[in-house]
């Protein structure tokens, strides 16, 4: 049998108390209320590097969940992704205590200007020596649109159209504005940068106007490693054009396999190969030295979880105020402008009726809509193997449980088992993050990627 390709493993976290396992912050050993203090994050980064994780993936939202009861009160009360600090600011400190760990930072296009955003990412790519990734999100919260002073939020597909325009601008800033040899740093002549090798990017489009050069010299990866999670038809087209790592929502083995097949077809349609992309899904794991220990731990965690808080978050994901529903009311519908994959997950698949509120709550044993894998290291590894072999995923975003012990258990118990099976690396590859994932010599976007087309635009007026 051909040797397996090791899986891609990220920790899935957020610069906040309650990410997607609501209520677990109340557990006596949970330290997530220390998210405001740097030692919490530095310890986490060190733990991940000890377990040879590929990355720490930091989710983000730029608004509050206020669909439930038409108010942010429930979100505030239960720490449902609020208060939330900026993810990017954490990263340079964590990069300084690690050598290989990548950092996937979520940034919402509706909340950013292309020029300042490109500079922030280039700065981090320099300081981390090429270990920065960007999770491209378009922003689905009305509360975020209001916070940004937008009179009305854009519709779902219009958000992706604007995001395409944003991408073309940041690609030009990262890939075109500075030639590779623009910086000469010649002490004898006193010339740092050759002006003729730096060009202005000019753009007038429906959403953005820009007339500026990039302010940063070329960073190791130039364009950060690109993550994206589109699953709707428009989101899939966007992912096929831009994503290098695609997050596929975990909808069970079979449904996830189908989503991957659709994405593969979309990739082929734009001239990209299956091998130029990695598919990653979310996985929540509770493990122990034995199956019994894992089950006892799961029951203990469960005693602190708040599925009702998961429902508050889900209300915003589908754009429906579920506080008005009775426990046995079926939940269907959902806003066309919310997260369409969440909305479509309600439509009775395979002729099944839509879930009731009670059933949704039962789907959230640890406070979020995930079915945790609970078991000994061998049982967890079996499940991971099934996801790789049957669904065709390349890796996982491990959902936070009780922090940091959930990750420590995974690193100490599951990682060695995965390594024994050839499913996890035994050493980091050298190079920037893109090279660690796609191979040596792949530091830049490959030539088949949409962003690479801008590299040949040196005919533009400097
Ligand atoms: C693993 C994963 C992580 C995500 N992280 C975020 C996030 O941090 N912030 C956010 O606004 N949306 C996040 N999303 C939502 C996606 O950006 C996107 O809106 C969603 O997958 C629906 O895409 P669609 O509208 O094409 O269906 C995430 C989705 C997945 C599957």
Contact between 52 and 425 (Cβ < 8 Å): yes
Instruction: Report pLDDT for 350.
Output: 58
Taking the CA of residue 340 as reference, the ligand 1 atom at the shortest distance is 27
What is the distance between the alpha carbons of residues 197 and 194, in angstroms, rounded to a whole number?
A: 6
Distance of CA 227 from the midpoint of ligand 1 (Å): 10
The domain of 240 spans 8-185+193-308+372-453
Q: How confident is the model at residue 228 (pLDDT cuts 50, 70, 90)?
A: very high
The Cβ-side half-sphere exposure at 155, using a 13 Å CA radius, reads 4
The torsion of the CA quartet 146, 149, 153, 154, rounded to 10 degrees, works out to -160
Distance of CA 318 from the midpoint of ligand 1 (Å): 12
- For the record, the structure tokens of 217 come out as 């010299």
Q: For residue range 44-84, list pLDDT tens digits in order.
A: 999 999 999 999 999 999 999 999 999 999 999 999 999 99
Nearest protein CA to atom 19 of ligand 1, as residue: 339
Nearest protein CA to atom 5 of ligand 1, as residue: 59
Q: What is the DSSP letter of 226?
A: E
Instruction: Report pLDDT for 230.
Output: 86
Distance of CA 265 from the midpoint of ligand 1 (Å): 21
Left, alpha or beta for 18 (phi > 0: left; psi -120 to 50: alpha)?
Answer: beta
Q: What is the mean predicted confidence (pLDDT) over 121-137? A: 98
| More confidently predicted of 143 and 343 | 143
What is the distance between the alpha carbons of residues 343 and 332, in angstroms, rounded to a whole number?
A: 8
Distance of CA 355 from the midpoint of ligand 1 (Å): 21
Residue of 13, 229, 284 to test ligand 1 pocket, by largest number of atoms within 8 Å of CB: 229
Closest CA to 280 of 384, 425, 356, 355: 384
Q: For residue range 147-192, list pLDDT tens digits in order.
A: 888 877 789 899 999 999 999 999 999 999 999 999 999 999 999 9
Nearest protein CA to atom 6 of ligand 1, as residue: 59
Contact between 186 and 94 (Cβ < 8 Å): no
The number of distinct structural domains making up the chain is 1
Contact between 404 and 183 (Cβ < 8 Å): no
What is the distance between the alpha carbons of residues 350 and 344, in angstroms, rounded to a whole number?
A: 12
**Residues sharing a CB contact under 8 Å with residue 3, sequence separation 6 or more, in sequence order:** 422
Residue 248's CATH number: 3.20.20.30
Contact between 121 and 214 (Cβ < 8 Å): no
Q: For residue range 413-426, list pLDDT tens digits in order.
A: 999 999 999 999 99
Q: For residue range 265-316, list pLDDT tens digits in order.
A: 999 999 999 999 999 999 999 999 999 999 999 999 999 999 999 999 999 9
* Ligand 1 residue neighbourhood (C-beta within 6 Å): 59-61, 106, 108, 135, 137, 140, 156, 229-232, 235, 247, 249, 282, 339-341, 397
Would residue 80 count as lying in a domain?
yes
Q: What is the mean predicted confidence (pLDDT) over 139-151? A: 85
Would residue 333 count as lying in a domain?
no
Would residue 336 count as lying in a domain?
no
> pTM score > 0.85 for this model?
yes
Would residue 367 count as lying in a domain?
no
Nearest protein CA to atom 17 of ligand 1, as residue: 137
What is the distance between the alpha carbons of residues 461 and 83, in angstroms, rounded to a whole number?
A: 46
- For the record, the structure tokens of 256 come out as 């996830």
Nearest protein CA to atom 13 of ligand 1, as residue: 137
Contact between 226 and 244 (Cβ < 8 Å): yes
Instruction: Report pLDDT for 413.
Output: 98
Q: What is the mean predicted confidence (pLDDT) over 249-255? A: 91
Instruction: Report pLDDT for 462.
Output: 47
pLDDT beyond 60 at 460: no
| Residues belonging to the chain | 462
Instruction: Report pLDDT for 2.
Output: 64
Distance of CA 166 from the midpoint of ligand 1 (Å): 18
Distance of CA 340 from the midpoint of ligand 1 (Å): 10
Q: At what angle do helices 156-171 and 114-127 cross, to 10 degrees?
A: 60
Taking the CA of residue 234 as reference, the ligand 1 atom at the shortest distance is 26
Would residue 461 count as lying in a domain?
no
Contact between 207 and 216 (Cβ < 8 Å): no
Contact between 139 and 145 (Cβ < 8 Å): yes
Taking the CA of residue 238 as reference, the ligand 1 atom at the shortest distance is 26
Would residue 147 count as lying in a domain?
yes
Percent of the chain with pLDDT over 90: 87
Q: How confident is the model at residue 123 (pLDDT cuts 50, 70, 90)?
A: very high
Q: Is the peptide bond before 83 cis (omega within 30 degrees of 0)?
A: yes
Would residue 247 count as lying in a domain?
yes
pLDDT beyond 50 at 459: no
Q: What is the mean predicted confidence (pLDDT) over 394-401? A: 98
Average pLDDT, the chain: 94
Would residue 110 count as lying in a domain?
yes
* Residue 401 dihedral angles phi and psi, to the nearest 5°: -115, -115
| More confidently predicted of 251 and 25 | 25
- For the record, the structure tokens of 417 come out as 């088992």
Distance of CA 154 from the midpoint of ligand 1 (Å): 16
Residue of 247, 335, 347, 369 to test ligand 1 pocket, by largest number of atoms within 8 Å of CB: 247
């Amino acid at each position: 049998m051909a040797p397996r390709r090791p899986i891609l493993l990220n920790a899935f976290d957020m610069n906040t108390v309650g990410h997607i396992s609501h209520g677990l912050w109340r557990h006596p050993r949970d330290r997530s209320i220390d998210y405001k203090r740097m030692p919490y994050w530095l310890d986490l980064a060190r733990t991940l590097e000890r377990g040879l994780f590929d990355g720490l993936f930091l989710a983000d939202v730029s608004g509050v969940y206020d669909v439930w009861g038409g108010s942010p009160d429930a979100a505030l009360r239960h720490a449902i992704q609020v208060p939330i600090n900026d993810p990017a600011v954490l990263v340079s400190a964590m990069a300084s205590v690690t050598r290989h760990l990548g950092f996937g930072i979520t940034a919402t296009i509706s909340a950013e200007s292309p020029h300042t955003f490109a500079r922030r990412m280039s700065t981090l790519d320099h300081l981390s020596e090429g270990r920065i990734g960007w999770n491209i999100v378009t922003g689905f919260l009305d509360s975020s649109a209001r916070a940004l002073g937008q009179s009305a939020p854009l519709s779902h597909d219009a958000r992706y159209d604007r995001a395409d325009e944003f991408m073309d601008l940041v690609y030009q800033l990262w890939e075109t504005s500075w030639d590779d040899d623009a910086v000469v740093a010649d002490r004898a002549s006193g010339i740092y940068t050759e002006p003729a090798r730096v060009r202005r990017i000019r753009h007038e489009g429906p959403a953005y106007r820009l007339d500026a050069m990039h302010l940063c010299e070329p960073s190791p990866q130039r364009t950060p490693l690109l993550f994206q999670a589109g699953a709707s038809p428009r989101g899939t087209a966007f992912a096929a054009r831009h994503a290098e790592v695609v997050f596929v929502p975990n909808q069970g083995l079979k449904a996830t396999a189908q989503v991957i097949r659709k994405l593969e077809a979309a990739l082929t349609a734009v001239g990209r190969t299956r091998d130029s992309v990695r598919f990653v899904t979310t996985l929540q794991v509770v493990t122990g030295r034995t199956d019994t220990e894992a089950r006892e731990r799961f029951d203990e965690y469960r005693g602190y979880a708040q599925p009702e808080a998961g429902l508050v978050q889900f209300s915003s994901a589908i754009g429906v105020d579920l506080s008005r529903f009775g426990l046995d009311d079926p939940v269907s519908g959902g806003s066309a402008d919310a997260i369409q994959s969440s909305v479509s997950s309600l439509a009775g698949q395979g002729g099944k009726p839509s879930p009731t509120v009670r059933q949704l709550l039962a789907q959230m044993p640890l406070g979020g809509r995930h079915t945790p894998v609970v078991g000994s290291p061998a049982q967890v590894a079996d499940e991971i193997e099934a996801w790789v072999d049957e669904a065709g995923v390349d890796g996982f975003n491990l959902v936070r449980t009780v922090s940091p012990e959930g990750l420590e258990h995974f690193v100490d118990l599951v990682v060695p088992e995965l390594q024994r099976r050839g499913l996890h690396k035994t050493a980091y590859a050298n190079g920037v993050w893109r090279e660690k994932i796609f191979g040596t010599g792949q530091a830049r976007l490959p030539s088949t990627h949409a962003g690479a087309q801008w590299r040949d635009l040196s005919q533009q007026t400097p």
